[in-house]
Amino acid sequence: MERVVSVDEVRAALARLRRDGRTVGFVPTMGALHDGHLSLVRASRRHADVTVVSIFVNPTQFGPGEDFEAYPRDLDSDTALLADEGVDILLTPTVDAMYPPGADTHVDPGRIGTVLCGAARPGHFTGVATVVTKLFQIVTPDIAFFGEKDYQQLKILEKVARDLDMRVRVAGCPIVREPDGLAMSSRNRYLSPDQRSHATVLYRALATAHDAACAGETDAGVLTRGVRETIDREEGVELEYAVVVDAETLDPVSVVQRPARALVAARVGSARLIDNVAIPLPGTGPSR
């Protein structure tokens, strides 16, 4: 694995590796890697000839008072994990290289970036869309992999790629969960053992909606109420939102007639956690 820091270095390394029409897969991350990230790397290795991973804790997607400073950073252990996975290039740019003085062009994903997590974290998705667009420009991947755990982010990045006529294919990969259902997240490191066990309620609550939909319930109000009540009963978990939305537009739905998704966000201690599940259409099988 070649570790590169500058834009010029990554372009030179890619020029060497991209010979004979080899395809490039890309996994953008903020580091503090877990099995969810590694599943994206493995997907890239399966679908592309060359795999590039970036680690960059992007300051523009953190709001004032959020956890930019505290965000876990563990470059040595991340590098070892990625080398073991057979990654070809690891890009670790500096903040100054990504945002030199005067670089104030932004990519605003529009309305979809202002709802749900975008309402709680104003400017967050503009920061994400801007840095990912810049990384796409630098790496010029054929396909880029993002986890469905950050479902709103995934739908926004698909839209940005579509709206801006990018050549990259944005691919979503299934959520990777701990054995007790907790979705893997770098922010789980903020949880005490007690908080961690309370946090499993997010998946248990989403599972009630999924299971009710499998049993034929199509009323989104009923599905959402079940999720909300399950989370409200759990000590130490403060629900921010629980919704059932159209799986593509993220618009609220009242009756599930098209592919839908149940999404939740909640605070557990200092951690803001998110999770989601697919809501099966009536008459289709279970698929969490």
For ligand PAF, the binding residues (CB under 6 A) are 28-30, 58, 61, 128, 131-132, 150, 153
Q: Are 128 and 61 in contact (CB under 8 A)?
A: yes
Report the residue number, 160 or 227, with the smaller CB distance to ligand PAF: 160
Tokens matching residue 250? 């993220």
Report the residue number, 72 or 236, with the smaller CB distance to ligand PAF: 72
- Rounded to 10°, the helix 201-214/220-232 angle is 150
Is residue 198 flagged as an active site residue? no
Q: Please state the closest distance from residue 99 (CB atom) to ligand PAF, in A.
A: 13
What CA–CA distance (Å, rounded) separates 114 from 7? 31
φ, ψ of residue 278 to 5 degrees: the values are -75, 140
Give the start-end residues of each E strand in the chain: 2-4, 24-29, 50-55, 89-91, 143-147, 169-173, 237-246, 260-268, 271-279
Catalytic residue among 37, 124, 198, 210: 37
User: DSSP assignment of 191-252, as one string?
Assistant: --HHHHHHHTHHHHHHHHHHHHHHTT--BHHHHHHHHHHHHHTSTTEEEEEEEEEETTT--B
What CA–CA distance (Å, rounded) separates 8 from 191? 39
Report the residue number, 58 or 276, with the smaller CB distance to ligand PAF: 58
Report the residue number, 209 or 271, with the smaller CB distance to ligand PAF: 271
Q: Please state the closest distance from residue 114 (CB atom) to ligand PAF, in A.
A: 17
At 15, which helix (H) or strand (E)?
Answer: helix 7-17
Report the residue number, 132 or 231, with the smaller CB distance to ligand PAF: 132
Q: Please state the closest distance from residue 287 (CB atom) to ligand PAF, in A.
A: 23
Q: Please state the closest distance from residue 116 (CB atom) to ligand PAF, in A.
A: 15
Report the residue number, 71 or 203, with the smaller CB distance to ligand PAF: 71
Cα 225 to the center of its chain, rounded Å: 25
Q: Please state the closest distance from residue 142 (CB atom) to ligand PAF, in A.
A: 18
Q: How many of the other CB atoms lie within 10 Å of CB of 178? A: 16
What CA–CA distance (Å, rounded) separates 173 from 175? 7
Q: Please state the closest distance from residue 77 (CB atom) to ligand PAF, in A.
A: 17
Describe the strand order of the beta sheet including 2-4 as a list of residue ranges.
2-4, 89-91, 50-55, 24-29, 143-147, 169-173
Q: Which residues are catalytic?
A: 37
